[in-house]
Amino acid sequence: MAGGNKRKTPDINASSQADIAFLLLVFFLVATTMNTDKGLLRTLPPMPPEDVKVEDQKVKDRNVLLVFVNAQGNIMAGDKEMDIYGLKDKTKEFILNVNDDENLPEKAPTEIEMPDGTKWTYEVSKGVVSLQTTRDTNYETYIMVQNELTRAFNEVRNEVAMSKFQREFTELNDEEKSVIIDAVPLKISEAEPRKVGRRR
């Protein structure tokens, strides 16, 4: 007390601050879920009002590709049984209808507005892929089929994008993408399941 008139407060040792920060950091690293959600995007058809009796929309047979998946996982496309590997090519053939086959979908010439303001006429296919399942179909098989159908549409879009913009579909900007989407719309109808073999 008689020494210095002021006693210096000792510096707090700050070397453990880093450890504390590390501890917090590790906690957040572990707790963070960087799960980017991914999935197959679809748009469902709106529900028709219940009091209105829906008449079956008349769609010509040639414009529909019926894909049916049964409970055993067998796939039928058109009227032939096929495995999952043939489905994509079958669908592509159906959408493109290169040779204007009478049994494949019609095309409607449609004017699509390009990003630079010009018009581009493209023969848009009228084809609809109708995907049907039973209630006992496995979800995994269903997703595999959905995936193959999406792949077919994506490849067709890629081809159109290549011929129109000389670039792949994924490399286009939003405006160009919407042009291609108008030209090759994703037409997959997910009908209600068939009530086949209902036994009780």
Partner 1 sequence: MKKKGGKELPAISTASLPDVIFMILFFFMVSTTMREEEVLVKYQLPNATEVQKLEKKNLVSYINIGVPVTHMQARYGTAPQIQLNDSYKTAKDIGDFIAAEREQMDEADRIYMTVSIKADRYTKMGIITDVKQELRRANALKISYASLEAEGY
C-alpha span between 65 and 141 (Å, rounded)? 18
The nearest distance, CB 150 to partner 1, in angstroms, is: 4
Site string for partner 1, 154-193 (x = CB under 8 A): x-----------------------------------x-xx
CA 30 to chain centre: 31
Backbone dihedral region of 151: left (phi > 0), alpha (psi from -120 to 50 degrees) or beta?
A: alpha
Nearer to partner 1 by Cβ, of 17 and 110: the residue is 17
The nearest distance, CB 39 to partner 1, in angstroms, is: 4
Decide the pairing of beta strands 128-133 and 119-125: unpaired
Contacts (CB under 8 A) with partner 1, residues 57-116: 85
The encoded tokens of residue 32 equal 């963070």
Contact 163, 100 (CB under 8 A): no
Decide the pairing of beta strands 128-133 and 188-190: parallel
Centre a 10 Å sphere on the Cβ of residue 155 and count the other Cβ atoms it contains: 18
Which of 101, 136, 168, 175 touches partner 1 (CB under 8 A)? Answer: 136
Nearer to partner 1 by Cβ, of 101 and 175: the residue is 175
Site string for partner 1, 14-53 (x = CB under 8 A): xx-xx--xx-xx--xx-xxxx-xxxxxxxxxxxx------
Binding positions for partner 1, rule: CB under 8 A? 14-15, 17-18, 21-22, 24-25, 28-29, 31-34, 36-47, 85, 133-140, 142-144, 146-147, 150-151, 154, 190, 192-193
